[in-house]
């Protein structure tokens, strides 16, 4: 006699954070359609915070599961792969016709490819991501919209060409082989000097003082850190090869 199939449940706590991140991405799309670009950009940042919490909550409560991994990936695609595209399109690129929506699609397709590669590749060095992480790419574009529209009150159509270039560049960075620091080697459980604790407090104060400009600046620096790091490593490698060649006997 065959036994009854075992019912498989899901862990509710980490998936609540994942669902909230999914909702924030969907909310950003809805707000972009209404022309409310500042709330749309803020929603993407909220999705990024929630996305960072769900995995940590799952590990702390020992509620990791294959279902949670797949659900988180699908949520990431909506929140960071899909939602930034209509936000940047409606804000700046809609007046450029076919070129505008094609640039937005380049971003969406690149994010999908980035997530698929991340889910299937074997991680060689946990200190680095291969390509720009999709949450960081989404935060960079959302930060641009938040600063220009929310802080300065300027229309996105005035920045159509720079926005188009940046949208495509962010998409290409996501599918590139450029290494970006993952900060997974940072020990958050270990003891730190008192000065480090004060620095964290000051960092929070700075972000709270002007979140739009500070967050945009942070993700701009992170976006540029990958290519600049590759350039530095390439120059060092070339210098070392030249020095070795000079030391070779005639």
On whether residue 3 sits in a domain, the answer given is: no
The pLDDT of residue 100 is above 80? yes
Confidence of residue 233 (pLDDT cuts 50, 70, 90): confident
Give the pLDDT confidence score for residue 246 in this predicted structure: 53
Tens of pLDDT, residue by residue over 149-183, are 999 999 999 999 999 999 999 999 999 999 999 88
**76, 51 contact by CB (below 8 A):** yes
CATH code, domain with 159: 1.20.120.1760
Number of structural domains, the chain? 1
Q: Residue 81's closest CA among 183, 179, 167, 182?
A: 167
Q: Does residue 77 sit within a domain?
A: yes
In a domain, 189, yes or no: yes
Give a yes or no: residue 89 inside a domain. yes
Range of the domain at 104: 12-247
Is residue 4, in this structure, part of any structural domain at all?
A: no
As a whole number, the mean pLDDT across the chain is 88
């Amino acid at each position: 006699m065959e036994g009854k199939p075992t019912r498989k449940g899901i862990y509710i706590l980490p998936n609540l954070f994942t669902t909230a991140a999914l909702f924030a991405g969907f909310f950003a799309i809805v707000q972009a359609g209404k022309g409310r670009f500042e709330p749309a950009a803020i929603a993407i940042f909220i999705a990024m915070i929630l996305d960072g919490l769900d995995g940590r909550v799952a590990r702390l409560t020992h509620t990791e599961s294959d279902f949670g991994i797949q659900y988180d990936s699908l949520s990431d695609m909506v929140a960071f792969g899909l939602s930034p595209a209509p936000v940047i399109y409606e804000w700046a690129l809609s007046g450029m016709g076919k070129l505008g929506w094609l640039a937005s699609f380049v971003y969406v397709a690149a994010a999908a490819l980035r997530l698929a590669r991340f889910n299937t590749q074997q991680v060689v060095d946990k200190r680095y991501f291969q390509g720009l992480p999709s949450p960081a790419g989404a935060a960079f574009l959302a930060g641009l919209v938040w600063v220009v529209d929310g802080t300065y009150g300027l229309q996105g159509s005035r920045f159509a060409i720079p926005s188009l270039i940046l949208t495509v560049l962010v998409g290409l960075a996501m599918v590139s082989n450029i290494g970006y620091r993952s900060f997974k080697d940072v020990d958050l459980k270990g003891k730190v000097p008192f000065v480090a604790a004060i620095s964290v407090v000051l960092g929070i104060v700075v972000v709270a003082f002007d979140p739009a400009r500070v967050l945009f600046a942070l993700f701009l620096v992170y976006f540029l850190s990958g290519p600049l790091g590759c350039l530095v490593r390439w120059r060092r490698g070339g210098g070392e090869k030249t020095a070795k060649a000079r030391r070779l006997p005639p």
